[in-house]
A and B are shown apart, each in its own frame.
Chain A
Amino acid sequence: MMAFNIIITGIGGQGVVSAGTMIAEAALAEGLRIRSSDATGLAQRGGSVHSQIKIGEQVSSAILHTGTADVVLGFEPLEASRWAHMLKRDGVAIVNSNPVYPVTVKNGMLRYPDIEEQKKVFDERGARSIWLDGHALTEKIGNMRVLNSIMIGFTAAKTKIPIGLDTLRRVIAEKVPSRTIEVNLKAFDMGYKVGSEEP
């Protein structure tokens, strides 16, 4: 089996690193080996964050080689587009379409690229990008902090991630705070359902 490579990317506070840890723990439970690496940047909140994960029977180096990511899982559009070059030609980007504007955009110093422009970054690579409105789904659930469980569920439906659904659910239940187990599993299931329904 070739390694299955994922880059999860977003901003501080969105649950990027914990999503990466849950996927890595689930891969471990499936008997696979893991190399992963987190870059949390400087800001406690609001800075760029990413997590690179390789899972497989044989893995080496906690950094992905360019063009070897099976999935770029973007919790924020700009942060997802930054990593387009890491995708395989037949890779897929799954992107939460809700922008979080840097302060330099808020005060008009810089321009945030349109979503259409950002879609083009993936199109030009010949990679597929799937966009979902994560904010709307968290609102449906009534908890803004379950975006990562939704994204993992959606990924399970849309990609060939070599981890069983039951394993993912079990690890989520183990890893999230006990009073949020139910709402996180609901979020995972909703992400999976939405991912299975859409073409």
Chain B
Amino acid sequence: MDTQKLRHPILLMGNHAIARGALEAGVKVVAGYPGTPSSEILTYLAGEADRRGLHVEWSTNEKVAYEVAYGAALAGVRALMTTKHLGVNLLSDALLVSAYTGVNGGLVVVTADDIHPFSSQNAEDTRYYARLAKIPCIEPTNVQEAKDMVSDAFTISEELQLPVLFRVTDRICHAKSDAILDEINQLNMPPSFVKDDSRYVMVAPNARRRVEWLNGQMDKAAALSENYPGNRVEAENSAKVGVIASGVTYEHTIEALNVLGLRDDVSVLKLTFTNPLPKQMIAGFLRNHSEVLVVEEIEPIIEKEVNSVAHQLGVETSIHGRLDGYIPREHELTPDRVGVGVTRILKMDDPSLDEAEYKTPELVRRIPNLCAGCPHAASYYALKQAMRRVGGRGAVTGDRGCYNQGTNPPLSAIDTCVCMGASISMASGLRHAGVDGPIVAVIGDSTFFHNGIQPLVNAVHNTADVTVMILDNGWTGMTGHQPNPNTGLNATGKTAPKVSIEDMVRACGVEHVQVVSPYNVKETINALVATMNHKGPGVVISRQVCPVQDNRVRRRAGERLSFTRYAVDRDRCTGCLYCVNSVGCPALDTVDGKITINSEQCIGAGCAPRCVLQKR
């Protein structure tokens, strides 16, 4: 691409901007595990891998991915790791020690925090990990910076020999904006691993020395932060009120000030290098303002540090934010929410919010449901039937994946959902506590490989009498159908060895293993009943490829798809709604109190109760 063309803006999604930034920075090794809102970064790079000579992989989990990228960075090449916020919890074990050894090639960990949260179990602020691990943190404010600052992050990483946490949120990842691209760099960084056991072998005496080194590196990082061009006072004016904003909240602040007509009444300190903070710069800003609002997502981390700077300096500036309720304590910020804080400081009415009419109308919520023909819906139907047949209350522990939506009505099929792999270990705990009846852990294929194997070994080792139902749809579905060790493909679309779930389960020591298709409801119920009645841990693998993805793959291969068409005998349908309430398939519609099949949605799985179903 010639330079002229590069200076022409293109429409870019935030996650693609980050991926592009990594290419421009000359990244060599990329590893990650899918998780909303991060997944598109790695998918984009996987598409570039072959022609640019990169290694790009979906790893089995985030800790594995981090360690792969870290290993590459020790060998002196640039490496990128991608994850959502929950993956940082898992990889933190490696992260905290890797900060002691440091890296040679740049290592950037992109964490996409679902802070609201829109589709996660919790809303956490991974910036705490930058403080815990003592590594730099970069927070871009928009899509263009998301691209540009990846290069900065690699430079900072190499200068300090530390991994860098590159922290973005949903409103960067899934935002689209005009953006200008730069050239893609081919770096001359040949891999070499030089033995240095005093640095790479973290036994205690080495660790005692390296923590001193690490603290010294963070002092250097503080100086870099003071001079980083992305940390600066924007629109300097004589206003006595200021806002300190980091990440996307900076853009929300500018929007709020524009809408409220307050651009000349408030000055803004923009922060993008946020660990360590530029304390001198913050001190100067505090001295120039009598009241300051700190906006950030999602915990008051900067706010507390700004308070501490003020305390050290003895300045009288009033500092507001999430801690004193000027900014709501929970959830993502918006221009509205920043505007409320600003207008409160200025003791003015916020004209856009005082009117009752501006309230969000109270309307029926559209609960997420499983897709038409989803094999998980059939599995849950069979599971509920089997539980009823065996009797006793029991429990169904759930896990992380599309099948979470089995919690919603009408299925209401799972009782817990906490974190990847927890279904199996929590089921064991319920049983050891003495809970009666069938206890069933429900876990997907990708989640099983992610963090489900150790809990299964544990259940065998400690003789937990539980049933594990592995919902095997062949793909990592929820996050956009990425391949996993069970798919037979790798991230770049090439054939990969398929790791057999049943072999793995047997190797864990489980003797009672059955494989069924959930579309065969009777067979699935029988297998579940037999496993529930079996003493000790047993596994039912409910195997049916995700039809959404399978149909996509077949269509792309040029296949013309035809589905078995079903219709409802409306004379015989009594309108009891048993089918809607027991399977909840979106292809089942009610018209005048009776069932019809929505032919636009039905894929002919035939898994609904067949009382009045007819093949057409």
Contact = CB atoms under 8 A, between A and B. Distances in A.
A107 interface: yes
A68 B261 CA distance: 14
A25 B590 CA distance: 39
B226 interface: no
A35 B175 contact: yes
Interface residues of B, number: 59
A81 B363 contact: yes
A47 B357 CA distance: 26
A68 B586 contact: no
Most buried by A among B142, B339, B477: B142
Contacts of A67: 352, 358
A36 B171 contact: no
Nearest to B364: A110
Given A85-B358, A144-B600, A66 B353 contact: yes
B562 to A, nearest CB: 17
B612 to A, nearest CB: 16
Contact of A36 (B175, B252, B410): B175
A96 B581 CA distance: 28
A43 B405 contact: yes
B16 to A, nearest CB: 12
Given A34-B176, A66-B353, A144-B600, A61 B335 contact: yes
Contact of A81 (B361, B405, B409, B600): B361
A62 interface: yes
Interface stretch (A97-105, A149-157, A159-167, A187-195): A97-105
Contacts of A81: 361, 363
Contacts of B171: 37, 62-63
Interface string B228-263: 000000000000000000001001101110110000
B177 interface: yes
Interface residues of A, number: 55
B371 interface: yes
Given A34-B176, A39-B174, A62-B248, A124 B410 contact: no
A70 interface: no
Interface in A35-62: 35-48, 60-62
Contacts of A78: 363-364, 366
B11 interface: yes
Contacts of A36: 175-177
Interface in B162-200: 171, 174-178
A28 interface: yes
Given A39-B174, A103-B586, A112-B364, A65 B256 contact: yes
Nearest to A89: B357
A45 B371 contact: yes
A54 B359 CA distance: 22
A66 B254 CA distance: 15
B462 interface: no
A45 B584 CA distance: 14
Contacts of A108: 577
A66 B358 contact: yes
Given A24-B11, A65-B259, A107-B580, A34 B178 contact: yes
A23 B28 CA distance: 35
A111 B339 CA distance: 35
Interface in B92-145: 118-119, 142
A167 to B, nearest CB: 13
Given A78-B364, A105-B364, A46 B586 contact: yes
B392 interface: no
A144 B599 CA distance: 12
A140 interface: no
Contacts of A101: 589-590
Nearest to A43: B368
Interface of B: 9-11, 118-119, 142, 171, 174-178, 248, 251-252, 254-256, 258-259, 334-336, 339, 352-353, 357-361, 363-372, 402, 404-405, 409-410, 477-478, 548, 577, 580-581, 584, 586, 588-590, 600-601
Given A46-B368, A46-B371, 6 more contacts: A42-B478, A48-B366, A65-B255, A65-B339, A79-B366, A85-B359
